[in-house]
């Protein structure tokens, strides 16, 4: 399976907060560097995500912005 999304970053899940519809998934992509995702509660269950899971964070390039100081 190959996806057009340009960004696939290896990550480890640190924390999951469940809501009624959405869940917040906090991942670590490097020591001290977190990446946060909001996905549906259904997907958290369907993928069997839990703290410690090795996953990839995926982001479409058109969703990435650039910031300067």
Q: What sign for the dihedral angle of Cα 8, 10, 30, 23?
A: positive
Shortest approach of its own copies to residue 40 CB, angstroms?
A: 6
Shortest approach of its own copies to residue 51 CB, angstroms?
A: 13
Q: Does 65 bind its own copies (CB under 8 A)?
A: yes
Q: What is the rounded distance in angstroms from the CA atom of residue 43 to the CA atom of residue 21?
A: 10
Q: What is the rounded distance in angstroms from the CA atom of residue 62 to the CA atom of residue 20?
A: 28
Q: Does 35 bind its own copies (CB under 8 A)?
A: yes
Binding site for its own copies (CB under 8 A): 1-9, 17-25, 27, 29-30, 33-40, 42-44, 46-49, 53-69
């Amino acid at each position: 399976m190959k996806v057009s999304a340009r960004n696939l970053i290896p990550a480890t899940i640190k924390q999951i907060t469940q809501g009624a519809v959405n869940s917040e998934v906090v991942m670590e992509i490097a020591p001290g560097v977190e990446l946060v995702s909001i996905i549906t509660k259904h997907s958290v269950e369907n993928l069997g995500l839990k703290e410690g899971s090795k996953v990839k964070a995926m982001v479409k390039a058109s969703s990435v912005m650039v910031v300067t100081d």
